[in-house]
Amino acid sequence: MSIAISGATFSQALNLVKDGYPIRRQSWGEDTYVTFIKGTVSSTVTENFVNAVPRSLFEVADGKTSMPVFVMTNSADNRNDCWTPQSIDLLAVDWVALDQPNADGGSV
């Protein structure tokens, strides 16, 4: 994957990852990136927000509600883990978006 956008703030990167672009810090290895997986919500839920999260970040699926998650992937190790940004990640301006968006706004 090549870099589509570089030098972004976390806020900019957050919008891009929600749109399906894998993101990473420039200081991370090229094999490491973060993707977003939409949550699921029952078709009977009609509110615009689920636990204060916009419904647009959920897909309709029967069964239990699951919250959206960020997933960090290290393709060299073939490893995927849930990811939560640290303070330094939120303040950094070295975020990049990779040029391989996923059509459904989820993971690559």
pLDDT band at 11 (very low <50, low <70, confident <90, very high): very high
Look at residue 107 in the predicted model and tell me its pLDDT. 42
- Maximum Cα–Cα distance for the chain, whole Å? 44
In this predicted structure, the answer to whether residue 102 has a pLDDT above a threshold of 60 is no
Look at residue 5 in the predicted model and tell me its pLDDT. 82
Pairwise CA distance, residues 93 & 40, whole Å:
31
Range name among 3-12, 15-24, 27-36, 93-102 with the lowest pLDDT average = 93-102
Predicted TM-score (pTM) of this structure:
0.84
pLDDT band at 1 (very low <50, low <70, confident <90, very high): low
CA 97, distance to chain mean position in Å, is: 11
pLDDT band at 108 (very low <50, low <70, confident <90, very high): very low
For the segment 65-76, what is each residue's pLDDT rounded down to a tens digit? 899 999 999 988
Contact between residue 80 and residue 35 where contact means Cβ atoms under 8 Å apart: no
In the chain, where the domains are located? 3-98
